[in-house]
Structure 1
Amino acid sequence: MSVHKEISEHVNKQNLKINRFLLLDQQRELYIEEALFLCKQGKEFTTDKINEMTNQINALAKQGIIPFRKLVTKEMVKEYALRS
């Protein structure tokens, strides 16, 4: 296999990881906003969907170039809702 082809394949794999990360991170942010909205309304909420996205992001991060994200607790959401 030529060096050019190997580099192209590597770049394509990295690009796929980055695009997957961007989609997961965007979905995670939407779930965070949803939890904040419910919290501010005094309604029940969970962080399950947020952390599902977080776990998928962190699995990608283990492969390199993708940043890790922290798992989110209900307390974190409540604290942030009080500050904003």
Structure 2
Amino acid sequence: MSFSLGLLLIPYLLAILLFLVLAVLNVYHLIRYGATTGTSFVFTFIFMAGAVIIAFVSWQMLAQIDWTTSVGFSLYSSSAADLPQI
């Protein structure tokens, strides 16, 4: 049995989508309900800059992988005949 490495991108992309939804909600609440002080803008900028840096590093690392590579594995069934005798 084998599968393509590209299949592993599906859970990763779902996690990225979840992060984006939560990040948009976070920034919205910071802007809407946060105090409009310099501190709130600084922390919003730090949050967004950190997210962009993490996305860039992730993109750079994932770009080096050949996602068409097949990964094979086999499932062995065990039976009493296969067990070592003591």
TM-score bucket (shorter structure): 0.3 to 0.5
* TM score, norm. by length of structure 2: 0.46
Bigger Rg, which one: 2
For normalisation by structure 1, the TM-score amounts to 0.47
More helix by share: 1
Q: Greater strand share, 1 or 2?
A: 2
